[in-house]
Structure 1
Amino acid sequence: MITVNAMGDNCPIPVIKTKKAMQEITGPETIEVLVDNEIAVQNVTKMAVSSGGNVTSEKLGEKEFKVTIQMNGAVAKEAGEEAVCTPDRKGDTIVVIASDKMGSGNDELGKVLIKGFIFAVTQLEELPKAMIFYNGGATLTAEGSDSLEDLKSLEAQGVEILTCGTCLNYYGLTDKLEVGSVTNMYTIVEKMAEAGKIIQP
């Protein structure tokens, strides 16, 4: 395990430090990068993915984020994107998820599809501004969900993760929320009304 401390560093320093650590490894290795802002998470993530890394990220606290990069081996010196500062990747799209399944037909297949959908959101060039979960979708942000790693990665990159409080209470999950924050119907309506585009799987 290699730890890169880029807390307090302005762009492009976190990317440069991470790239240097990646180029020094000789075999399979895990690199943890600590940064203090969402834009740094986005920039480090983009560079690491372009270099062949498997990347996840997590918000540890206010202005405290961890990006974990799994590398299979050494990286070519010229690999990866240049250490540049890119603007915030978030647009004004809202993703609304109302079920723990995607589509109708086979429930088991539906659960596989919704997990794949959430992972696909993490790969978008322009991330959504927020993701809202209600009714059965509320279970996806709670303990036991297969999508927690992907949702925590999105949250670390600045995507607002909101779950209906009434729904959590109905399913007995009020104390089991694992990512994002609890919201109410007024905020859900407000967010959807302000959105430039709404995606609902």
Structure 2
Amino acid sequence: MITVNAMGDACPIPVIKTKKAIQKVTGAETIEVLVDNEIAVQNVTKMAQSSGGTVTSEKLAEKEFKVTIQLSGAVAKDTEAAPVTCIPDSRRNTVVVIAADHMGEGKEDLGKVLIKGFIFALTQLEELPKTILFYNGGAKITTEGSESLEDLKTLEAQGVEIMTCGTCLDYYGLKEKLQVGTVTNMYSIVETMNNADKILRP
């Protein structure tokens, strides 16, 4: 395990430190990068993915984030030569609305596989959404036991706001089991959807 402490470092320093750590890897290795803002998470993630790493991230506390990079071996020489860039957060106000713990009509087991794949696909988008809203059965996805928690934590660490309906959590008896994001109310849900540039529904 290699730890890169980039807390308090302005861009592009976190990316440069991480790239140097990646260049030293000769075999399978895990690198943990500590940063203090979502933009650094986004930029470190993009660089590590371009190097062939599998990347997850998590918000540990206010202004404290961890990016975990899993490498299977040394990176290619052409990857090492890639320029270090700092990409500002210029996302549009895209809101994803998830109202069930499955996707589509038909077999529920298949629907649960599909919604898990949908949320993973969100983590791979070039432009991440600004907010993901969960209500009704969708509230189950942000709580203990959900198979999508790791992907949601990765999205949250990159600045995606994750909001779950409090009334829905109460109804399903899950309020104490929320694992990612914050609790919201119907007024905030309506306001967020009303102000969105685009609404995406699975």
Q: Same fold (TM over 0.5)?
A: yes
State the SS of the aligned residue for 1:175. Answer: helix
Determine if contact 1:104/1:110 at 8 Å carries over to the other structure. yes
Amino acid at match of 1:184: N
Deviating more after overlay: 38-47 vs 71-80: 71-80
* Superposed CA offset, 1:38-57 (max 9, x none): 00000000000011000000
Report what 2:127 is aligned to: 126
Distance 2:173 2:35 in 1: 35
Query: How far does the alpha carbon of each residue in 1:5-25 deviate from its partner, in whole angstroms, 9 at most, with x for none?
Result: 000101001000000000101
Q: Residue 98 of structure 1 contacts residue 136 of structure 1 at CA under 8 Å; is this kept in 2? A: yes
Q: Does the residue aligned with 1:19 lie in a helix, a strand or coil?
A: helix
Which letter maps to 2:84?
A
Q: Which runs of 5+ in 1 are unaligned?
A: none
State the one-letter code of the partner of 1:32: E
Between the aligned partners of 2:112 and 2:92, the Cα distance in structure 1 is 27
d(CA) in 2 for partners of 1:89 and 1:125?
11
In 2: Cα distance, 1:174 partner to 1:61 partner: 20
CA distance in 2, matches of 1:58, 1:90: 20
Deviating above 4 A after TM superposition, structure 1's stretches of 4 or more consecutive aligned residues are none
- Aligned equivalent of 1:19: 19
Instruction: Name 1:187's counterpart in structure 2.
Output: 188
- Paired letter, 1:131: I
Work out the number of aligned pairs and report it.
Answer: 201
Counterpart of 1:8 in structure 2 is: 8
Deviations 1:120-170 (CA, angstroms, capped at 9, x unpaired): 001111110100000000000000000000000000000000000000001
CA drift at 1:75: 1.0
Any conservation in 2 of the 1:11–1:85 contact (CA below 8 Å)?
yes
Structure 1 equivalent of residue 68 of structure 2: 68
Aligned-residue offset at 1:82: 1.9
Say which SS state the counterpart of residue 60 (structure 2) adopts.
Answer: strand
User: Percent sequence identity over matched residues?
Assistant: 75
Residue 91 of structure 1, CA deviation: 2.1
TM-score, length-scaled by structure 1: 0.98
Residue type matched to 1:26 in 2?
A: T
Write the letter of the residue equivalent to 2:103.
M
Give the aligned CA root-mean-square deviation in angstroms. 0.9
